[in-house]
Structure 1
Amino acid sequence: MHSIYNGVPAGRLPKVEWTKSSWSNPDGNCVEVATLPGGEFAVRNSRDPQGPVLVYTHAELEAFVRGAKTGDFDALLR
């Protein structure tokens, strides 16, 4: 198996289950997240399902989700 790293093509990952937000638009354009065998998380663009992924640790994803919940990134939507 290929090692998992930032930028690895999603098609090279072991079989994972991708999760799409219920907030995604009707065209399905969104970010998808999958849990990797080692406990990290892969993030991909749904418009390019075989394209590169970004890999995050549990702590990194937790910090992002907490920040999103508390509005840290709201200015990006203005």
Structure 2
Amino acid sequence: DGVGLADCLSESHKEDCRNLLGQFCELFSLTPGQTTWYEHTINMGAACLLKVDIYRQPDHVRDCIKAEVQKMLDLGVIEH
């Protein structure tokens, strides 16, 4: 199984989702990654950058953030 379904769904809707996921299982993956089926760009135009205050995160949170970013880099989900 491995797929979490929202608690707000009724059991009937959860079963419908499981059936749909099972029917098209070759289209889904539990591991995020890249696709070559489609490519898009986000046009920012002449938008100004926002200045956002930076808040220091606790060490344990910062370690989790670094690990998730590294995982996404390794999987090719994001680029640096």
What TM-score do you get using the length of structure 2 for normalisation?
0.25
Q: Which has the higher contact order (CA 8 A, sep 6+)?
A: 2
What TM-score do you get using the length of structure 1 for normalisation?
0.26
| Greater Cα radius of gyration, structure 1 or 2 | 2
